[in-house]
């Protein structure tokens, strides 16, 4: 059965439609990496497919957001960044506009060490708020967070105003901040919050996942 057929069957089993969705962003230009991160090998698959394998089983619908014309590995539900859209906020807008569930987990294709239980934890904290976002030190991890789909108009307005950081959404939202210690019982090293923006970070993620480091991608 194809990925889309599995997703349709999962949604059909819920009379009220999907309750949890996920948006996986892969439309960045990977300038620091030097090649498209979605296609980087990760074990026997690609980085995007590895992340989708961790995310999709925890939700009722899952969508990949790519830039216009970008080739995407795997057979996934793919939507495109809005024309002229730059950065992750544009991807969040595209994803929120596409899914039907009210609570939406957002991550990126360069987060291969994501612990699935962290997704469940963030959803569990989202019932009475608009955003659930971990914070490490002074940094809000806005690309490992759960958003209410009702924030779509606010996100669209931010894009139109040129305020392109997802962090600005928190100004328009009831936000629950998740501290580091609130995740360490299920993710002791906070691996879920590590990304692979550089060749060095990618190689480190491979080693942490138990795979051999590749030939240099620099």
* pLDDT tens digits for range 64-91: 999 888 999 988 999 998 877 678 999 9
CB-based contact 134:204 (threshold 8 Å): no
Instruction: Write the Ramachandran bin of 34: left for phi over 0, alpha for psi from -120 to 50, otherwise beta.
Output: left
* Section 56-62 average pLDDT: 97
Instruction: Give the model's confidence band at 27: pLDDT under 50 very low, under 70 low, under 90 confident, else very high.
Output: confident
Percent of the chain with pLDDT over 70: 89
Residue 170's CB: how many other CB atoms inside 10 A?
19
Domain spanning 3-208: CATH 3.40.50.300: no
Q: Is the pLDDT of residue 100 over 70?
A: yes
Two tokens at 155? 């996100």
pLDDT tens per residue across span 30-53: 777 878 899 999 999 999 999 999
The domain ranges of the chain are: 3-208
DSSP β-ladder status, 45-46 and 61-66: unpaired
In the chain, pLDDT over 90 holds for what percent of residues?
76
Whole-angstrom Cα distance, residue 165 to residue 205?
A: 26
The model's confidence at residue 215, banded by pLDDT at 50, 70 and 90, is low
What pLDDT, on a 0 to 100 scale, did the predictor assign at position 5? 38
The residue among 160 and 27 whose pLDDT is bigger is 160
């Amino acid at each position: 059965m194809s990925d889309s057929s599995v997703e349709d069957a999962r949604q059909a089993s819920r009379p009220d439609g999907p309750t949890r969705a996920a948006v996986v962003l892969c439309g960045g230009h990977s300038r620091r990496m030097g090649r498209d991160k979605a296609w980087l090998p990760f074990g026997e698959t690609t980085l995007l497919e590895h992340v989708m394998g961790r995310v999709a089983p925890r939700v009722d619908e899952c969508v990949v957001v790519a830039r216009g014309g970008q080739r995407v590995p795997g057979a996934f539900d793919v939507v495109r960044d809005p024309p002229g859209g730059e950065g992750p906020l544009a991807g969040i807008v595209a994803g929120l506009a596409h899914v039907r569930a009210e609570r939406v987990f957002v991550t990126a294709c360069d987060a291969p060490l994501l612990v699935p239980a962290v997704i469940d934890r963030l959803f569990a904290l989202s019932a009475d708020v608009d955003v659930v976002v971990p914070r490490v030190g002074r940094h809000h991890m806005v690309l490992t967070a759960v958003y209410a789909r009702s924030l779509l108009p606010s996100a669209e307005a931010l894009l139109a105003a040129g305020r392109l950081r997802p962090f600005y959404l928190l100004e328009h939202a009831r936000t629950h901040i998740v501290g580091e210690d609130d995740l360490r019982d299920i993710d002791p090293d906070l691996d879920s919050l590590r990304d692979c923006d550089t060749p060095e970070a990618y190689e480190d993620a491979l080693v942490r996942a138990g795979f051999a480091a590749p030939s240099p991608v620099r």
